[in-house]
Amino acid sequence: MDGHIIKELEKKLNEVQSLQELDEVRRAYLGSKGSLKLLSKQLGNLPIEERKEQGKFLFSLHEQVESLLNQKEQDLQGIEEEKKLREDAESIGFTPVKVGHLHPITQVIRKMNGIFYQMGYSVMEGPELETDEYNFQRLNVPLNHSARDMQDTIYIEEPNYLLRTQTSSIESHILQNFVPPFKAVIPGRVYRNEKVNKSNHFIFHQYQGVVVMEQTSLKDLFGTFTYLFRALYGEDVKVRYRSKYYPEVEPGAGCDMECFNCNGKGCPVCKYVGWIEMGGSGMIHPSVLQAADLDTSKWMGFAFGLGLDRWVMSKYKITDIRSLLGGNLAYKYYEHENTI
Amino acid sequence: MKILFSQLQELIPDLTDTPKEAGEIFTMIGYMMDRFEEVIFNGKKDYLLGLEIRQNRPDCLSIIGLAKELAAYHGLQLQLPQTYPINEGKSPVDIAINAKDYVWRVMAYEVKGVDIKESPVWLKEFLSFYDMNSINTLVDISNFVMLMTGEPSHIFDKDKIEGTLRWALNKKHESITTLDGSVIPLSKNMLVIEDDHNPLALAGMVGGDKARITESTTHIIIEMGVYDRALVTQNSREVSITTEASRRLEKDLDPNNMDYGMKMLMNMIQEYGDGEVVSQVFNFYENPYIPPVISFDSSLPSRFAGVSISEEQSIEILKNLGCVVEGNSPYMVTPPVNRLDLQVPEDLVEEVTRIYGYYNIPSDQVPSLKVVNDITPVIAKLDEQIKDILVSNGLDEILSWPLTGIEENIQANYKKWEVIKTQNSVNEEFPDLRQTLLAGLFHQFKEYKKNNLNHISIFEIGKVFGKQDGEYMENESLGLLIHDDGQKVSLDMIRGIIETVIRLCGFSTIQYRKSKHVPLLANPYSIWDIFVDDVFVGIIGKSRQIEWKGNTYFAEIDLSILASRIGSLTTNPIVEVTTKIITLDANLEKKQGEEIDKIIGHVRSLLPLENIWNVEVIDIYPLKDTTRYTIRVSYNNMSDQEAKKLHVSIFGE
C-alpha cells in the first residue's frame, strides 16, 4: 500500500509546476483531510498489535511523503529563484567608461612634488598678478637693472603691477612671511611678453625650490638637484653644474643634463654640445635675504628653478606649444597613463 | 660673444688648451659655449667659439675680457696688444657735458686730415665673424676696438657739426634720422649728443645721419663714452633699438678701461687712416670709479661650497683674477678696476668657487637637511585633492589662457569685479585678464566641437582676476564643463560633482539660489548661485544651446573662499553606528518662492548635530498659495521613542 501511495505521490509531484500547486498536493496528503490523516484515523479501529504495526508504518510513510514534498519544495524554490534572477539580469554595456586625466603639466608637477615631499619640502603657491617689488626688487633686480632684459614683462600698470615673470617672486613672499628654517618647492605659471606661435608662448611653467637653513651649501644644492634628475630620469643620468649668473643667487649655477638623444656625443637636440640645459640655481644672494630682514650671518639658503613646458612637450611628443596650453590637446577615450 | 681661438693664443702665449678644451673651461666658469665652428682666418685654420655672456659681466663682451678669464683660470700671464702714446695737439675739443648726472665718462679727440678708405682684408674678414659689414677704415676700426676692449666709440664729421658738440638730456628735438635713414621719435630727457641745432646721436645707442662720416670726410671728432646704464636701458626700450654699443652700455661698463681703448683706437686710426690729432684729449670723468676694499673671510668659500677650499687656493684664485689681497683673514681685497660686479664678500666667494670648479664639489650626495615644519598652504592641498576627485569622476584637466579676448570675457563674466587689462601685451587680441574660468572652458569646448568630439567633460583650476574698490583681486577658481551630443549628461550630474568637491572639503550646508548675475553664455532660466554656509562661492547652470546640439552644463566655484573657510572648520564625520537609523517624515507648508535650501538649513539648525544622519526633501506639492514639502529626517544614536519625541517637538504631530 505504501508503495502505491509513494508512486502516486511521485507521479503527482512530477506534474507540479509551482509552489501553489505543491501546497495543494501537500494538503491532499498531509492536510487535516488528507489521505494520510484518513489512514491515521482508521488506526483506532484496529486491534492493538496491528495498530502498533500500522502506526509504525504510517509514521514511516508520513516521513517519506514529507521528505518528497520538501525536496520538491526546494526544487521549486530553486527554479523560482533562478527565474527571478534571470528576470533581474542585466547585460554588460559596451560604452567605455570615461576616464579622467590630469594635464601633462600637472602630471609632471605631481611627480616632482612627490619627490620633494619625501625630502620634507612644503609645496607653496602665490600671486600671479605681482608687484615690481616682489618680482624684481626683492630679488636683487632694481629698477632699470639690465637683468630685467632677461625677462620681457607684461605690465598691468607700469611700473608697479605686472604678471609675474618668474616663480622666484613667490620666494620673495616666503622669505618675508615665514620664519626659517624652511624648505619649499613652488610649481607655477609665469608670463613673458612674447607673441604666441607654434614654439613660443606668453605662458610658461616653472618649478622652483627654496631652502633656508643655518648652514647649507652648493654641495647640498647639487645633491638635491641631482637626486631630482635621477628620480625622474634614472640612476645613470649624468648631470653637471657650471657657473652661471642669476641676480637673485650668488654663487649661481647652471645645471645641464647629458643629452638623452646622443649620450653626450653631440646632435641637433643638444645643438651639438652634448648637454641640455635643465635649470638655474645658486646660493640665495645676501641682498635677497636682507630684503626680507633675514640676518645673513645666521641664515643662508639655496634656490633652484627649471622650466617644465619643453620637457613636457618632449615627454608627450607635443609639437605645438599652443596645444599644450589651451588648444588642441585632448585625451583619448580609452587610454590612460599608468601613473603607478 | 664670439671669439677666435687664435686671438686667445695671441693674448695668452703660454696657453696649451685645445680649442675644445678652452670652450669647455669657459662653459664651466660662467660662459656657456653655444657654438663651436672650424673657420679660416688670415688663411689659416681657426676656431670660432660662441660664448654666452650674462648681464653681470660686460667686461667679457670683449675679446680681451674673455682672454683675462681664461688666463686667470690657468694662472697664466696675459699679453695685451701694445699701444703707443698719442701725439696730442694743443687746442681743446669743443665739447660740453650738460647732462653730468647721466654721463659718467667721455673721452674725445679732434683729428684732421684723415683718409677714409677701404679697410684691409684681415679687418674685413675679422668683422665678418661678428656679422658686421665693412663700412670704411674708421668705422671698421671703431668696431674692432669695441670688440677687443668692450668700449664703444663714435666718430662725427667735425665739419658738419654746427657749434659745440654737447651731451644733454633732450629738450627740443622731436626726432633723429639715424645712419640707416630711419626716423626715430625722441622723447624729452633722452640722452642725446647734439650740436647747437640738431641731434647728432642717441647716446650709447645709434649715430645720426646729420654728422655722419663719408668718403669725403677729413676732419673728425672721435669719442668714447660711458653713461648711466639705467637711462641707456630706458632709452633703448623706448625706441626699441638694441645695438652692439647699447648691449654694452646698458650694463656696468668699466670707464677706466677707456684709457686703453682710446689709445688702441687712436693708434689704429693713425696707422690705417692717417690724420693728425689736433686737439688735447677731452676727458670728462668727474667721479672716477674706485673699487671697494672688501673684507674677506677666507673660510667663506668652504662654507658656501660645502667642501674644503684652502685659504691658499682662495687667495691664489683672487690674485690670478687681478685682485689685490692684503693682510690676513679677514683679508682686505681690492678687485681689479674693470670688475664693477665685485662689491661684497659673496661676490668674491663666487669668484673663488667658480674658478675652483663646480665639478670639484660632489653632486651625488643627497643632503640630510634638518626636518622643518610643513608650510604648505591649504589652497595647495585643496587643489591637489580636488583634481583627484574630478579625475575620478571622469573629467579631463585643461589649462587655458589667463589672457582673453574682450568678447569672450564679457560673455563669461558674472562677477562685479572690473576687468583688468594688460598695458603692453604683444598679443593685442587678448588684452583682458580673465574674470572667470568659464571663458577658457567654453573656448576649449568650442575647439573640441570643431574637431567633432561629442562627449566633453573638462575642468580647470586656475587664477581669475578683477579689480574691486581700487584693489587688484586674484582668486583661485575651479571651473567645470560637461557636454554630450545626446542625453548622457545632466544638471544633476554636474551638481553631484560640485557637491562631492565641496563636501569632501568638509562643508555640509550647500544651497542653490537663482542667480543674481547671469553670464551671457548661460540659459538665464537655468542658473543658480552656489552658497556654502550662506556664503556665495560660485555658480552652476546650463549653457545657451545655440551653435551645437546636445546639452552643456557648467559650474565654477571660488576655491580661495573655500580655502579661507576650511581653516576654521571643525568637522568629524566619523561615528560608531550602534543603534538603528530611525527615519521619520514631516510635512511643512511654506509660502511659494521661499528657498527650500533655507528651509532645510533651518531644520538642520534645530536638530542636535550628533543625532542627525540626513535631512532631505522627498516630495514637493504645490497648493493654492503655498507649497507643501515632505521632509524626511533620519536620526541616529537615538532610540525609537527618543527620535519620535524629538521629531514631534520640532515638527509637531
Do B445 and B527 belong together in one domain? Answer: yes
Judged by CB atoms closer than 8 Å, whether chains meet at B424 and A272 is answered as no
For residue B457, the domain's CATH number is 3.30.930.10
Q: Choose between A200 and A256: higher pLDDT.
A: A256
pLDDT value at residue A158: 82
The band of A340, judged by pLDDT with boundaries at 50, 70 and 90, is low
The percent of residues in chain A predicted with pLDDT above 90, rounded, is 60
pLDDT-wise least confident of A166-180, A262-276, B240-254, B460-474: A262-276
Contact B105, B223 (CB under 8 A): no
Q: How confident is the model at residue A269 (pLDDT cuts 50, 70, 90)?
A: confident
CA B414 to chain CA mean position, Å = 31
Minimal-distance CA residue of chain A relative to B432 = A156
Q: How far is CA A50 from the centre of its chain?
A: 83
Looking at the structure, do residues B278 and B303 belong to the same domain, yes or no?
Answer: no
* Domain-embedded: residue B372: no
pLDDT 10s digits, A4-23: 889 999 999 999 999 999 99
Predicted confidence (pLDDT) per residue in B158-204, tens digit: 999 999 999 999 999 999 999 889 999 999 999 999 999 999 999 99
Q: Which residues of chain B have pLDDT under 50?
A: none
Distance CA B49, CA B494 (A): 60
Q: Does A183 touch chain B (CB under 8 A)?
A: yes
CA pair distance B395, B459, nearest whole angstrom: 6
pLDDT, mean of residues A66-91: 92
DSSP secondary structure letters along B579-620: S--EEEEEEEEEETT--HHHHHHHHHHHS-GGGEEEEEEEEE
The pLDDT of residue B566 is: 85
Among candidates B349, B425, B440 on the partner chain, residue whose Cβ is nearest the Cβ of A193: B425
Closest Cβ opposite residue B420 in set A156, A247, A273: A156
In this model, does residue A2 exceed pLDDT 60? no
SS3 A328: coil
> Does one domain contain both B400 and B482?
yes
The whole-angstrom separation of Cα B402 and Cα A144 is 27
Q: Is the pLDDT of residue A1 over 60?
A: no
| Chain B residues closer than 8 Å to A278 by CB | none
Q: How confident is the model at residue A328 (pLDDT cuts 50, 70, 90)?
A: confident
What's the total number of domains in chain B?
Answer: 5
What's the pLDDT score for residue A327?
66
Mutation target vs A (from B397, B446, B473; most A CBs, 10 A cutoff): B397
Find which of B228, B238, B375 to mutate to test the A interface (most A CBs within 10 Å of its CB). B375
CATH number for the domain that contains residue B57? 3.30.56.10
Looking at per-residue confidence, does A320 or B265 come out higher? B265
- Interface contact flag, A163 B426, Cβ < 8 Å: no
**In-domain check, residue B442:** yes
The one-character DSSP state at B101 is T
What confidence score (pLDDT) does residue A149 get? 63
Output the domain CATH number for residue B137.
3.50.40.10
Give the per-residue pLDDT at A317.
81
B539 and B422 both lie in a single domain: yes
Structure confidence at residue B171 (pLDDT): 95
| A36 φ, ψ (degrees, to nearest 5) | -70, -30
Question: Which of B566, B592, B619 represents a domain boundary (last residue)?
Answer: B566
Task: Tell me the C-alpha distance between A60 and A225, whole Å.
Answer: 89
> Residue B134, Cα to own-chain centre: how many angstroms?
37
Q: B275 and B235 in one domain? A: yes
Q: Rounded to an integer, what distance in angstroms lies between the CA atom of residue A130 and that of residue A139?
A: 13
Q: What is the CATH number of the domain that holds B593?
A: 3.30.70.380
Question: Does the distance separating the beta carbons of B233 and A241 come in below 8 Å?
Answer: no
Secondary structure in 3-state letters for B191-223 = EEEECCCCEEEECCCEEECCCCCCCCCCCEEEE
Q: What is the dihedral of CA A135, A288, A228, A254, to 10 degrees?
A: 90
Q: Is there a domain that residue B572 lies in?
A: no
Question: What residues of chain A, 281 to 340, have a C-beta less than 8 Å from chain B?
Answer: 283, 285-286, 300, 324-331, 333
Q: Is B61 found in the same domain as B9? A: yes
Q: Which residues of A touch B33 (CB under 8 A)?
A: 273
Q: What range defines the domain where residue B259 resides?
A: 95-284
Q: Which of the four pLDDT bands, split at 50, 70 and 90, describes residue A336?
A: low
Q: What is the pLDDT of residues A39-53, one digit of tens each?
A: 888 888 888 888 888
pLDDT tens for each residue of B24-65: 999 999 999 988 999 999 999 999 999 999 988 999 999 999
Say whether B423 and A158 touch across the interface (CB within 8 A): yes
Mean pLDDT over residues A152-164, rounded? Answer: 90
Same domain for B61 and B116, yes or no, is no
Same domain, B115 and B47: no
Domain membership of residue B367 (yes or no) is no
DSSP E strands, B312-384: 324-326, 331-334
Confidence band of A188 (pLDDT split at 50, 70, 90): very high
- This model of the complex carries an ipTM of 0.87
CB contact under 8 A, B353 and A243: yes
Flag if A217 and B387 touch (Cβ within 8 Å).
no
Residue-level pLDDT at A339: 60
